[in-house]
């Protein structure tokens, strides 16, 4: 099945976010984790913390930009997916939710962007 242009762009944005985070010292734990409750684009390790990363991409900042596109419903789905993912740990590690917002050619890393 052929991918849509939007899917191809989404994968390219995720790839750019992953390269950026790797260059900044994080290591990849899991990619595109899916469960009934939602999906997490990237799960990274940053020293002692597990980082759940949502990658959002927009062509430009019109209509609020990439970061503004994370609705409360999307936040709930991310938190639900993270809680499901964490069931595999006997001792839950320190965690945070980061956002990589890509607006056109600008990439911004927002640490602790979502409160759980």
Q: Who's near 31: CB < 8 A, 6+ residues apart?
A: 14, 18, 41, 42, 43
46-94 pLDDT per residue, tens: 999 999 999 998 776 666 678 777 889 999 999 999 999 999 999 999 9
Beta bridge partners of 46: 49
How far, CA to CA in Å, does 90 sit from each of 71, 79, 93, 103? 31, 18, 9, 38
Return the structure tokens found at 102.
């890509």
- Per-residue pLDDT at 60: 64
Residue ranges of domains in the chain: 5-114
CATH number of this structure's domain 5-114? 3.40.1350.10
| Inter-residue contact 14 to 26 (CB < 8 Å) | no
């Amino acid at each position: 099945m052929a991918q849509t242009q939007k899917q191809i762009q989404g994968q390219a944005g995720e790839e750019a976010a992953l390269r950026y985070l790797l260059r900044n010292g994080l290591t990849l734990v899991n990619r595109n984790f899916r469960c009934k409750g939602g999906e997490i684009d990237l799960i990274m390790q940053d020293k002692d913390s597990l980082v759940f990363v949502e990658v959002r991409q927009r062509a430009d900042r019109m209509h609020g930009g990439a970061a503004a596109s994370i609705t409360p419903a999307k936040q709930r789905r991310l938190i639900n997916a993270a809680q499901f993912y964490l069931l595999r740990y006997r001792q839950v590690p320190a965690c945070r939710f980061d956002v990589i917002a890509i607006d056109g050619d600008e990439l911004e890393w927002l640490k602790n962007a979502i409160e759980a």
